[in-house]
Structure formats: structure tokens, C-alpha cells
Amino acid sequence: MAADQGAHHDQDHGHAHDHASAADDVVPGYFEIMETAVRELLVEKHLIGPGEIRRQIEVLDSRTPALGAKVVARAWVDAGFRARLLANGRAACEELGISFYDDTGLMVLENTDKVHNLIVCTLCSCYPRPVLGLPPDWYKLKPYRARAVVEPRAVLAEFGTIIPDDVEIRVSDSTAQVRYLVLPERPAGTETFGEEQLAALVTRDAMIGVVPVIVPGSSP
């Protein structure tokens, strides 16, 4: 076969450019073919429109932890917004122009010097996707899902987060209808920071609750 291809490409076939060899072609895997087949079938049966997947990919691409960080920073600088956020997370996010493309509610859990929150989904991978984007792999895999609810201090320690014994740890298990977002504590030394500077400090993992927000160069 390879010899045949080589012979073919040795021939002058009327145009001058390099042909990639068959070996260079990327062969789609089983799951990729499965996805394509399902999508084509759905379109063929008029159950979804041909452009809907592309449009939803654009939505997914627009959802990153930067949105959640914007929410957190606003809550840190605006007490009224913070109160509304804690009362109804979804409505407060929508105030900032963050739409919810699914039918989920959002509960925002505030970390304090007395309480540290951690979120998990023990059943699958429920996650506040409209404000954080898609979850990291470790959030969906067994070790985190299994252990977060029974030994959260040990789990947090594996992320380098040591919670003092006098601080209560609350683990919230997400559901299909209710998703959680952690409102981390504002770090000391940021009193003069503007909202954008604050947002730049807030990481995805801090909004899951596995790490605190820290100012670069400071000790956690």
C-alpha cells in the first residue's frame, strides 16, 4: 500500500504541491466517529438545527473562570451586590450580564474566618458552568468525588490548603438543579486594589474552594 502511494506520488499529476502521506492523516477515533454520527442523525431527523452545536460551542468558549472572578471581585467591593449574590446567585450574576444557558440555580457560599466552603458533585460532574466554564478533570474523577465529603481537610491539604481546626469546613454536594460557587475571603493587603486587580487574583480553584485567594508574593 505504501509502495503504491509512493509510486502514485512519483508521477506527475498536473499540479505542484506536496501531498501528505496517508500516515500523516489523522484517523478519527471511535468516540469522535460516534459523536459525529449522533450529531448527523439528530440533524437529519430535524431534532436539532445544523447550527445549534456550533452556537453552543461559542457559548461554552465564552464561559471561563474569568466570569466567576468578576462576580467575586464585585462582591468584595460592593456590599449591596454581595448581599444580593448570597441571596440569589443566579440573579446577581445576571445583573453582571452573565446569562445562564441551563435551568440551574446558583447558590453562592461565603468563606469567612469561621467557615470554609468546598464544592463537589459526588454523583457526576455538576458544576457552575455558566460562570466557571467546564470543570477540570480531577473534579470529575473518583478520588475527589469520593473523599471530599468524608475527609475534606485531607483533600484540601493535598491542594496545599491547611484549614485551622477551629474553622468549620462545609462541603456542598451539587445537584442537577442547584450548583454552588464559593465566594472566597478577600485577601489581606488588597484594600487599595481596584475591581479588575482583585478579579485577576481570583482563580477557578478558589471558587471551587480547594485553595484560598492569595496575593502573589505574599504567604497564604
Partner 1 sequence: MISKEELMRRLPTDFGGLPAGRIERVEHELEPWEKRCHALADVLDFHKIINTEEKRRGVEALGSELIGSSELLRALDRRFCQYSVRKIDPHPGPACPQDGRGRRTPSAKSGGREIARCG
5 binds partner 1 (CB under 8 A): no
77 binds partner 1 (CB under 8 A): no
Nearer to partner 1, 48 or 91 (CB): 48
Closest C-alpha among 139, 137, 52, 141 to residue 101: 52
220 binds partner 1 (CB under 8 A): no
Q: CB of residue 3 vs partner 1: minimum separation in angstroms?
A: 22
147 binds partner 1 (CB under 8 A): yes
Is residue 93 among the annotated active site residues?
no
Phi, psi of 125 (to 5 degrees): -140, 35
Nearer to partner 1, 122 or 197 (CB): 122
**Are the beta carbons of 205 and 184 closer than 8 angstroms?**
no
Q: Which of 126, 174, 218, 219 is catalytic?
A: 126
Is residue 99 among the annotated active site residues?
no
Closest C-alpha among 96, 193, 209 to residue 201: 193
Helix (H) or strand (E) holding 181: strand 178-183
**Are the beta carbons of 155 and 147 closer than 8 angstroms?**
yes
Give the bridge partners for 172, in sequence order: 119
126 binds partner 1 (CB under 8 A): yes
50-56 contacts, C-beta under 8 A, 24 or more apart: 56/101
Find the part of the chain contacting partner 1 (CB under 8 A) among 12-20, 97-105, 107-115, 212-220. 97-105
State whether residue 108 is helix, strand or coil.
strand
Residues 28-57 that bind partner 1 (CB under 8 A): 28, 30-42, 44-45, 47-48, 52-54, 56-57
Find the part of the chain contacting partner 1 (CB under 8 A) among 16-24, 25-33, 66-74, 185-193. 25-33
**Are the beta carbons of 23 and 30 closer than 8 angstroms?**
no
User: Distance of CA 43 to CAs 40, 49, 58, 102, Å?
Assistant: 5, 6, 19, 21
Which residues would be at the binding site for partner 1 (CB under 8 A)?
28, 30-42, 44-45, 47-48, 52-54, 56-57, 59-60, 101-103, 120, 122-124, 126, 134, 136-138, 140-147, 149-150, 155, 158-159, 173, 176
Q: Would you please indicate which residues are annotated as catalytic (active-site) residues?
A: 121, 124-126
